[in-house]
Amino acid sequence: MTTIVWSVALVAGVSLGVYVGRKLGVNAYKREVEEKFVSAEHEAERIRSEAKVFHDEARQALEQAQSEAAAKLEQAAKHEQDASAALKRIEDSAQEKYDARIKEAEIEIQRKTLERQENLDKEEKRRLEGIVQSEARLVKKEELLDKRSETLDAKENELKTVEANIKKAVKQTKKRIKQSEEMLEAAQQKLEEVSGMTAEAAKEMLIESITDEAKLEAAKIARQIEEDATTEAEKRAKMILGVAMQRFAGDYVVERCVRTINLPSDEVKGRIIGREGRNIRSIEAATGVDLIVDDTPETVVISAFDPIRREVAAQTLKRLIADGRIHPGRIEETVAKVKQEIDERIREAGDQAFFELGIQNVDPEVIMMIGRLKYRTSYGQNIWRHSIEAGWLCGIMAAELDLDVKLARRVGLLHDIGKAMDHELEGSHADIGADFLKKHGESALVVNAVAAHHAEVEPESIYAHLTMAADALSGARPGARREILETYIKRLEDIEKISLSFEGVEKCYAIQAGREIRVLVEPTIIDDEKATVISRDIARRIEQELTYPGRIKVCVIRETRAVETAR
């Protein structure tokens, strides 16, 4: 029973505690809600006050904006009135100017009309004066004609008298001529009877003897003059050429029409050819050369007439092989870069040539053409180096002759510039070079020296002769040039054949690589004077019929030997 009571009490106490806790929690929540409500009312009041302030400010701003807009509208209306007034003033001023100009134009037209009328009046007056003067001159001429007519009548009478006298004199002269002819025929018959020859035969014999004597005498005089001039000229020329050769020495570079490129291995050939030959076709199309890939181990041959194309193709192949990437796109890119570099090398070569010789004031196109000669050869000799050498030789010889050294160097350097473009144009390289230099501002003296350095044009100055000598000297130096053996032998045979075709020539020898001919004549047929004539005739025949570099010296030898044996 006690246990039950305590249990009931415990349950009652727990229930009471729960009730009391709930009551206390509700009251606390109620107080919290009331506090939040009060706080919300205070916040709402604060927001209402701030909204009122904002409303007042907005109303003030609106009123201020309305006042400003009204002011601006007033200003705009005022500006519009000012603009209308200014426009009115401008229109009035323009109208005034227009009226003034119209008035000036009318005045000018009236003035010109008056001047024209005055000019017409003056012209008419001058014309009338001219007519009057012409009439006066006609009257004077008529008077002069009358006087001349009277004079001519008097002279005509005199001429008739003179004509009668002349007829009498002619008759007397004819009689005397007839008598002289009769006496001459009688003397001629007596002379023919005595000499046994007709007059025509005697005349021919006399003319022939006089002609032979005149030829021999002329040959003697010419021979003496030539010997004296040749002796003095050879001494002077040998001295000048000797000095030039002693003071200058150049090197030579031999080029060919093909260029060989060594490969690291034969596998590279396949990469150069490419799939179905696309790489080799791209190289040939981009560079303009023929690429020969044959069975020769580790070798590719580049064939082209243009040396610049060969150089571009060679540099392109070397770079592609070193890079390892060989395909059409890379080929075109490499060719473009190499061409740009070659152009820069050409420009540097031209600048170097002119700088080396101390030549200034040259057109850039001329410099580029001189640079192109670095890739051009003639008989194996590099033309760029040959041109520089000719420039030095011209300058040295000009210094010995007290001439303009810089001008001589200029013509020597520029003499073969036509070879940089002669495969593109028609005509000889001398004519092409002369035309090119004339278009680019070179003097007439330089142009003539370039055009005449192969005797295609008549030389007009000593510098042209210096250019000829320097060109021949540079090309004739040992090892400077090479020539095809068959062409060389054929030229020597033609020279000897021409010499042997003359009457009285016994033997003929071409020596010094065909630059000198020694002709042996029969002394019983050819005398000393005829030997001089034969040497000149042989030289002219060679000039007309053969083509050769430099000059050929013709030496005719007439030798008489008396042989006796002592016993």
pLDDT tens by residue, 369-401: 888 888 787 766 788 888 888 888 888 888 888
261's enclosing H/E stretch is strand 258-262
SS (H, E, C) 37-96: HHHHHHHHHHHHHHHHHHHHHHHHHHHHHHHHHHHHHHHHHHHHHHHHHHHHHHHHHHHH
* pLDDT on residue 284: 83
Q: Which amino acid is at 155?
A: K
**Average pLDDT of the segment spanning 254-281:** 75
Q: How far apart are CA 239 and CA 189, in angstroms?
A: 67
**Which parts of 248-327 fold into alpha helices (H)?**
267-273, 278-287, 307-323
Last residue within a domain, chosen from 476, 494, 520: 476
Mean pLDDT (the chain, rounded)? 76
* pLDDT on residue 390: 86
The greatest distance separating any two alpha carbons of the chain, rounded to the nearest whole angstrom, comes to 222
Structure-token pair, residue 353 = 């040539």
Looking at the structure, tell me whether residues 491 and 347 fall in a common domain: no
Q: Is 80 exceeded by the pLDDT of residue 98? A: no
Looking at the structure, tell me whether residues 540 and 513 fall in a common domain: yes
Looking at the structure, tell me whether residues 505 and 533 fall in a common domain: yes
Residue 319: count other Cβ atoms within 10 Å of its Cβ: 14
Q: How far apart are CA 175 and CA 172, in angstroms?
A: 5
The backbone torsions φ and ψ at residue 162, rounded to the nearest 5 degrees and listed phi first, read -65, -40
Q: Which range, 135-149, 184-198, 246-260, 543-557, has the best average confidence (pLDDT)?
A: 543-557
Judge if pTM exceeds 0.75: no
Q: How far apart are CA 82 and CA 396, in angstroms?
A: 89
Asked if residue 373 lies in contact with residue 416, where contact means CB atoms within 8 angstroms, the answer is yes
Q: Which residue has the higher pLDDT, 304 or 550?
A: 304
**Residue 290: strand pairing partners:** 303
SS (H, E, C) 115-180: HHHHHHHHHHHHHHHHHHHHHHHHHHHHHHHHHHHHHHHHHHHHHHHHHHHHHHHHHHHHHHHHHH
The backbone torsions φ and ψ at residue 449, rounded to the nearest 5 degrees and listed phi first, read -65, -40
* pLDDT on residue 239: 64
Q: Is 70 exceeded by the pLDDT of residue 9? A: no
Q: Is 50 exceeded by the pLDDT of residue 351? A: yes
* pLDDT on residue 122: 81
Q: Which amino acid is at 169?
A: A
Last residue within a domain, chosen from 426, 454, 476: 476
In total, how many domains does the chain have? Answer: 2
- Pairing mode, if any, of strands 381-382 and 377-378? antiparallel
Rounded-to-5 percentages of helix, strand, coil across the chain: 75, 5, 20
Q: Is 60 exceeded by the pLDDT of residue 65? A: yes
Residue 185: count other Cβ atoms within 10 Å of its Cβ: 10
Structure-token pair, residue 187 = 């003397």
Last residue within a domain, chosen from 447, 476, 505: 476
Q: Is 50 exceeded by the pLDDT of residue 365? A: yes
* pLDDT on residue 54: 72
Looking at the structure, tell me whether residues 400 and 541 fall in a common domain: no
Looking at the structure, tell me whether residues 312 and 420 fall in a common domain: yes
* pLDDT on residue 255: 43
Structure-token pair, residue 212 = 């032979």
Nearest-Å Rg of the Cα atoms of the chain is 58
Looking at the structure, tell me whether residues 444 and 332 fall in a common domain: yes
Asked if residue 505 lies in contact with residue 499, where contact means CB atoms within 8 angstroms, the answer is yes
Looking at the structure, tell me whether residues 369 and 465 fall in a common domain: yes
Looking at the structure, tell me whether residues 430 and 497 fall in a common domain: no
DSSP state of 461: S
In this structure, is residue 289 part of a structural domain?
yes
**Average pLDDT of the segment spanning 160-169:** 71
Convert the pLDDT of each residue in 424-440 to its tens digit: 566 778 888 888 888 88
Q: Which residue has the higher pLDDT, 235 or 471?
A: 471
Going from the C-alpha of 187 to that of each of 196, 242, 523, 557, the distances in angstroms are 14, 69, 44, 50
In this structure, is residue 1 part of a structural domain?
no
Looking at the structure, tell me whether residues 392 and 445 fall in a common domain: yes
Q: Which residue from 327, 324, 365, 360 is spatially nearest to 346, judged by alpha carbons?
A: 365
20 CB-contact burial (10 Å; exposed 0-12 / middle 13-18 / buried 19+): exposed
Looking at the structure, tell me whether residues 314 and 396 fall in a common domain: yes
Looking at the structure, tell me whether residues 266 and 393 fall in a common domain: yes
Domain of 321, CATH number, reads 1.10.3210
Q: Which residue from 432, 379, 392, 67 is spatially nearest to 254, judged by alpha carbons?
A: 379
- Residue 336: HSE in the Cβ half-sphere, 13 Å Cα cutoff: 6
Going from the C-alpha of 265 to that of each of 271, 272, 299, 386, the distances in angstroms are 11, 12, 9, 38
* pLDDT on residue 198: 63
Looking at the structure, tell me whether residues 403 and 515 fall in a common domain: no
In this structure, is residue 238 part of a structural domain?
no
| Across 12-21, 240-249, 293-302, least confident range | 240-249
In this structure, is residue 65 part of a structural domain?
no
- Burial code (b: 16+ CB inside 10 Å, e: under 16) for 460-484 equals ebbbbebbbbbbbbbbebeebbeee
* pLDDT on residue 552: 84
In this structure, is residue 178 part of a structural domain?
no
Q: In the block, which residue shows the tokens 């005199």?
A: 158
* pLDDT on residue 2: 58
Domain of 500, CATH number, reads 3.30.70.1350
Convert the pLDDT of each residue in 504-548 to its tens digit: 888 888 876 677 888 888 888 888 888 888 888 888 888 888 877
Q: How far apart are CA 480 and CA 473, in angstroms?
A: 10
Domain holding 554, by residue range, is 485-567
In this structure, is residue 470 part of a structural domain?
yes
In this structure, is residue 468 part of a structural domain?
yes
* pLDDT on residue 359: 85
* pLDDT on residue 13: 63
In this structure, is residue 136 part of a structural domain?
no
Q: How far apart are CA 491 and CA 309, in angstroms?
A: 32
Convert the pLDDT of each residue in 470-509 to its tens digit: 887 776 655 445 444 556 677 788 888 888 888 888 888 8
Q: Is 60 exceeded by the pLDDT of residue 251? A: no
**Average pLDDT of the segment spanning 398-411:** 87
Asked if residue 400 lies in contact with residue 420, where contact means CB atoms within 8 angstroms, the answer is no
